[in-house]
Structure 1
């Protein structure tokens, strides 16, 4: 296949189609008709000698060839964009740029107060739009709709770059004068016996899996009575019920200062919680983006 025989615009269309996995939705996004999109897909199937998208009972799925192409297209189109765009200087003191960041309410609670203060001092015209976690994070990042994600996301896609921001640890919290906790510690058997509330951000189990795996190694299973998507409301649930929770220490400290909550060491060894920054490779060399990443890491590590 010779490059001069290929319409490079077709590669842009192919990349969007492989991300969306939906002909009509991709056509709307690119501003073309559905028949034109179907004709483009037919040309791409002929070009790559592969179906690319296959209809199933669960919707359209990518073929193995299409999965391979998606990563290659991301890198190739990024290189072309960088070649065509001249680098722009970024001065945080004068920039009026807006960055969109996603993270859980736990991240908001410990980071945003200091972020507002430091931005006013170092980058007064820079704006931050903070949003809740989303399931299509990688696609939104590749499209430029999201600049950064902050969190504990062990399963982040390979196309995303990452940098450790801060480390935390698990602790247990329960309401003061909990009827089943009669000392300053919780035994392992009592921990497994008590009823739990657990956070599942965007219905994912990254915060619960390490706990349940550690219990499984000891032949124990806990009873999670309540699952919820956010952290801060969990504090009130613990403060005013007999449910306990295992949460990041920073969140527990905040809860103990504001609600009738007591903090306990967990009765089993649990791994650290590593909060990281995640961004798409399309933003990696951007000067403003690099400044924001360094700014957030420095800020988080200066927090008590």
Structure 2
């Protein structure tokens, strides 16, 4: 036996005084009554179990277990602790292994998505069609990615996902690419540039409408045009893309726009688009979500719907921003 100093029953033991691993060993000793069996079950050495028991005896001020011909017999104090400690360990184990469920068919969840006006035009019609088939009572609202506190809103869970080219979302976020996007030159049908082979000189001489969308990555394209030495005659600047189709359809202005936006606008507004005469970078359009909600079932379900509906390639990968290792879907 180890020399045990009786614990002062008036003293309050705090949880930070207790190594929970000791309680796990205590629980298994109650069940198995043999140090060797507990050591084998927990992947420990017998001296390791004996040392843990010694620490627990000193902590609780009781022998806890006595060696007998029948094995390690619990003391009356250990027997009183058996049920509450067993229940606590079972609760912890159950909580850690409880997989929350999300039932889209019965859910009335309202999801909030951060996206640009282009995202709304290109993504929302197909997304709502997909949701109508899978989750008819789920609803969607959107906020602009340009909001100053987008990071705080996502981290707090008030915005579930953000979609776009968002360089401001850095550490603490997962992201997965939906598709690569290139830019084209768009104008009305019958425009003098509505012909094969648009040149950089013709592009520069035309009258332009440009979109300055703060908080998004579209500035990369504007900077690329400037670096190419193109000096445009900019007649109109707007803060969003949603009005560009209307503007081009009734004027001789031209615009540099994402190809997917041009595809959506061509027929409704009587527009044409051509390969851009300036070598512009393709940009990644990603889905972003905060690491806090990476395993949230509702978030996982919505991400899957979006990826299944829009992603280029079934095996697109997701990654934590700042990490090198890709996390496979």
Q: TM-score interval w.r.t. the shorter chain?
A: 0.5 to 0.7
Q: Is the 8 A contact 2:108 2:139 kept in 1?
A: yes
Per-residue CA distance 1:210-232 (angstroms, 9 max, x = gap): 2432441x333334332222222
Q: Could you tell me which residue of structure 2 aligns to residue 208 of structure 1?
A: 219
Q: Is the 8 A contact 2:211 2:241 kept in 1?
A: yes
> Is it true that 1:158 corresponds to 2:171 in the alignment?
yes
Per-residue CA distance 1:111-148 (angstroms, 9 max, x = gap): 11221221111112222122233221101111111111
Q: Give, in angstroms, the shift of residue 235 of structure 1.
A: 1.0
Q: Within 2, Cα distance between the matches of 1:99 and 1:85?
A: 26
Q: Determine which of 239, 253, 259 is the counterpart of 2:263.
A: 253
Structure 2 unmatched runs, 5+: 1-15, 17-94, 314-329
Q: Could you tell me which residue of structure 2 aligns to residue 283 of structure 1?
A: 293
Q: Is the 8 A contact 2:165 2:216 kept in 1?
A: no
Q: Give, in angstroms, the shift of residue 282 of structure 1.
A: 1.4
Q: Secondary structure at the match of 1:264?
A: strand
Q: Is the 8 A contact 1:174 1:263 kept in 2?
A: yes
Matches within 5 A, 1:110-259: 110-133=122-145, 134-179=147-192, 181=193, 183-201=195-213, 203-204=214-215, 206-216=217-227, 218-259=228-269
User: CA 1:95–1:302 in structure 2 vs 1: closer, same or farther (change >3 Å)?
Assistant: farther
Q: Within 1, Cα distance between the matches of 2:134 and 2:194?
A: 49
Q: Give, in angstroms, the shift of residue 266 of structure 1.
A: 0.5
Q: Secondary structure at the match of 1:232?
A: coil
Q: Within 1, Cα distance between the matches of 2:233 and 2:137?
A: 48
Q: Secondary structure at the match of 2:245?
A: helix
Q: Within 2, Cα distance between the matches of 1:136 and 1:230?
A: 19
For normalisation by structure 1, the TM-score amounts to 0.65
CA RMSD of aligned residues (A): 2.6
Structure 1 unmatched runs, 5+: 5-82
Q: Could you tell me which residue of structure 2 aligns to residue 31 of structure 1?
A: none
Count how many residue pairs are aligned between Structure 1 and Structure 2. 220
Q: Secondary structure at the match of 1:190?
A: helix
User: CA 1:239–1:125 in structure 2 vs 1: closer, same or farther (change >3 Å)?
Assistant: same
Q: Could you tell me which residue of structure 2 aligns to residue 49 of structure 1?
A: none
Q: Within 2, Cα distance between the matches of 1:116 and 1:205?
A: 24
Q: Give, in angstroms, the shift of residue 103 of structure 1.
A: 0.8
Q: Is the 8 A contact 2:178 2:312 kept in 1?
A: no
User: CA 1:200–1:182 in structure 2 vs 1: closer, same or farther (change >3 Å)?
Assistant: closer
Q: Secondary structure at the match of 1:125?
A: coil
For normalisation by structure 2, the TM-score amounts to 0.61
Q: Within 2, Cα distance between the matches of 1:185 and 1:238?
A: 20
Tell me which stretches of 4 or more aligned residues in structure 1 moved more than 4 Å. Answer: 83-87
* Structure with a larger share of its residues in helix: 1
* Greater C-alpha Rg: 2
Q: Could you tell me which residue of structure 1 aligns to residue 34 of structure 2?
A: none
